[in-house]
Structure 1
Amino acid sequence: MTSSIKLPAEINSFTRAQHTRLNALITSRLPLALPLHSSSPDVYLTGLLPFANVYIAFEKAWSEICTRHTPFNHIRGEDLWVDVPLAHPSSESQDSAATQLLGASTLAPPPEMAVLTLLRTLRPNGLARTDRLIRDIAILVGISRDEVPAFLEKHQSDSSTLFTQHIEAAVAEKPQLLIAYAFVMYMAIFSGGRWIRSVLAAPGASFWATSEKPGSPPASPALSPTSSVHEKLRTFTAAQQERFEAAGLSFWFWSGMNDGVDIKAEFKRRLDSFESVLTEEMRQDVIEEAKEIFIRCEGLVGELDEAVGRQGVVIQSVKSQSRANDELGQSTAVIERQAAKPGLLDRLGLRPSPGQNWTEMPGYAGLALAISCAGWYAMYHAGTWNDVF
């Protein structure tokens, strides 16, 4: 029997515990990626890489599945996505994508075929993040877009590699699992990502765009990490958005004049189309994969935390930095044992020079940001974000 509870609500319910565990990470670690703890955008890049791989992997798998199951092999990949126009907010009749794409036939298609059809309608124009991530990484690294895939492969951690391999295998077997990735990862940016975006904007554009002329006005007023949630969620002007995107932060922004509000509403509307198509077994598959996403994100966090000897050390705020340094000093033996192991730090070029404190390393703040990225989508389930569903 089909559940009377909508799928997004079920996902929220079954992953709430993981959200809560991840929620504490963002406020304690994100400030370490910004001045006064970091002096370069390079640290942000370090933290972004593991999660960029995840977004790129599931969007690539999504496109490949749609290509594999289309009856017209000559169709280009970018033409596969059926662009259902955004529903007008005042429209009294908002037919679902299921009705538009599946037709009014009394003979319903098999669930598997219906899912594949709807997967080609689920992503409104402007939702996908791959192009923006590639653009950002190219800007931040100083390479061409064509060089980004090789750069990502070179700097992929063990957990990130296992995660992307899991995505490829899992969604190839059960395409409906892409619903879990779409819901968890996109709604993260719509909600908690807005908070992250404004915290990153706190130092102003001069921190991100080092080539700007001295004395240039900041693209946005400087915010402190303790600014109110409402202040952090303010809307950027078109000029501010353009400057931050040009500096390598386009991942956090949306095309159009509505800052993604219209895209989010349309995504939610299209997601509703699956309610009448998914079997109970498919629904459970999606819910279980959502849990798996969080488990594997926690794995990324654990790998990064271990790499810098951060077990059990949580920095509560920027003001407690001196106390945190004392705690880190007590863990010197642990850090030295882990630092001797080749792995993530070597691949990212983050091994400290003799006498250099871990908290003085630019890469440390970047790793802290990566941990924060794993936790930001916890925010919208922990009472901070009330507008998700």
Structure 2
Amino acid sequence: MFSTSAPGNTKQLPLGDEINYITASLHHELNMIIMSRLPLGLKNPKAFHEGLTSFSVIYSSFEAALDAHIRSSSTPTRTRAILEHIYIPALHRAGAFEKDLGRYTPESEEDELTESSPARSYVAAYVKQATAERPHVLLAYCHCLYMALFAGGQHIKAAISRSAIRKFALAAHQTVPEEAKTAPGIGLFTFDGRSTKEELELRQKLRDGIRQAEELLTPKERSEVLVEACEVFKLTRRLVDELDVSCATAPNVLLATKQYTESESPVAPTEPMVAYSRSFRWNKRVETVVKGFVCVSLFAGYLVYLNLKPAVETVAMENEAVPI
């Protein structure tokens, strides 16, 4: 069903790479949708925390399932061996979601968070059933949802940090307060007490675990993991679509995105930067002209050669025809 090898090539992509390959379009679409809604969430605490609540459902659901299979004495030996490779408690995010949501203080009854919703209930029930029937598909959840935190999640983390710092109206020389460093939502993308290097090592540990786990999968199980990876993105999309309705964000997405993009420009262009940019563009133009001139010269030389070649051959034939 998911053939990612060239014809005649029996070499198979690593499972993680194959998941990325088959979910590329779903991933791109979901990423664009989430990033377009982020500006609205940063300006509306309730909408932001509703988003956290929705995403917490899918993380807490699959982490609970993974933990249950690892701890259960009835889990088959091979299944346990597969899951042990991806059971990395330092990655678990349910606690981080709980801390972030615990810091939210509604200012009125209207700001109270929604405890449950149709999409959240559906996602929780679906994940519970899917992972109970096919525990090995937890590989798909670990890869898609944890790798998202290490990749695009870091951009979201940076955006949350900048938004919190702007709230304090800090001057460039002032020390950033701890409250800004630990703004609600950042905990999700931060792994307790770990430096950037340690986080990269944690990411590599997950990759290695998935590689080791995939060696224990049957072809059918591997195919089911790939199918489930697509479902992970569809489940997440279901949660986001519901947030559009509950938070009334859809009509304002484009405007908020434009405003956010303008306000999030990290560095104002200075004169040296502008000068360098002009110089760089000029050098590229000169380089292009030179390359074009060389190509034209070579082509012209080739045409001259083609025109002279028949004449040279004719002279040679005439010389051969002259009796000695």
Of residues 109, 112, 116, the one that matches 2:80 is: 116
Q: How far 1:197 sits from its partner (Å)?
A: 0.1
Q: How far 1:216 sits from its partner (Å)?
A: 7.1
Q: Partner of 2:162 in structure 1?
A: 202
Tell me: CA distance 1:319–1:13, structure 2 relative to 1, closer, same or farther (3 Å).
closer
The count of aligned residue pairs is 243
Tell me: CA distance 1:6–1:316, structure 2 relative to 1, closer, same or farther (3 Å).
farther
Larger relative helix fraction? 2
- Written as runs of structure 1 = structure 2, the 5 A alignment for 1:6-17 is 6-17=14-25
Q: Partner of 1:302 in structure 2?
A: 241
Q: How far 1:4 sits from its partner (Å)?
A: 1.5
Tell me: CA distance 1:3–1:278, structure 2 relative to 1, closer, same or farther (3 Å).
farther
Q: How far 1:320 sits from its partner (Å)?
A: 5.9
SS at match of 1:260: helix
Instruction: Provide the rounded CA distance (Å) in 2 between the counterparts of 1:62 and 1:188.
Output: 18
Q: How far 1:156 sits from its partner (Å)?
A: 1.9
Task: Write out per-residue CA displacement over residues 209-257 of structure 1, whole angstroms, 9 at most, x where no aligned residue.
Answer: xxxxxx97325xxxxxxxxxxxxxxxxxxxx6x8633756311111322
Q: Could you say which structure has the larger radius of gyration?
A: 2
How much identity, in percent, do the aligned residues show? 26
- Tell me, yes or no, if structure 1 residue 131 matches structure 2 residue 95: yes
Amino acid at match of 2:176: P
SS at match of 1:126: helix
Q: Partner of 1:275 in structure 2?
A: 214
Q: How far 1:192 sits from its partner (Å)?
A: 0.5
Higher relative contact order (CA 8 A, sep 6+): 1
Instruction: Provide the rounded CA distance (Å) in 1 between the counterparts of 2:200 and 2:130.
Output: 31
Q: Does the 8 Å CA contact 2:37/2:249 hold for their aligned counterparts? A: no
Instruction: Provide the rounded CA distance (Å) in 1 between the counterparts of 2:16 and 2:185.
Output: 31
- Tell me, yes or no, if structure 1 residue 217 matches structure 2 residue 161: no
Q: Partner of 1:187 in structure 2?
A: 147
- Tell me, yes or no, if structure 1 residue 66 matches structure 2 residue 70: yes
Q: How far 1:309 sits from its partner (Å)?
A: 5.3
- Tell me, yes or no, if structure 1 residue 287 matches structure 2 residue 247: no
Instruction: Provide the rounded CA distance (Å) in 2 between the counterparts of 1:313 and 1:250.
Output: 27
Tell me: CA distance 1:243–1:202, structure 2 relative to 1, closer, same or farther (3 Å).
closer
SS at match of 2:91: coil
Tell me: CA distance 1:3–1:301, structure 2 relative to 1, closer, same or farther (3 Å).
farther
Q: How far 1:264 sits from its partner (Å)?
A: 0.3
Tell me: CA distance 1:3–1:60, structure 2 relative to 1, closer, same or farther (3 Å).
farther
Of residues 5, 22, 26, the one that matches 1:18 is: 26
- Tell me, yes or no, if structure 1 residue 244 matches structure 2 residue 181: yes
SS at match of 1:203: helix
Q: Does the 8 Å CA contact 2:23/2:230 hold for their aligned counterparts? A: yes
Task: Write out per-residue CA displacement over residues 341-375 of structure 1, whole angstroms, 9 at most, x where no aligned residue.
Answer: xxxxxxxxxxxxxxxxxxxxxxxxxxxxxxxxxxx
Note the residue ranges of structure 2 that are not aligned, 5 or more in a row.
4-9, 107-111, 261-324
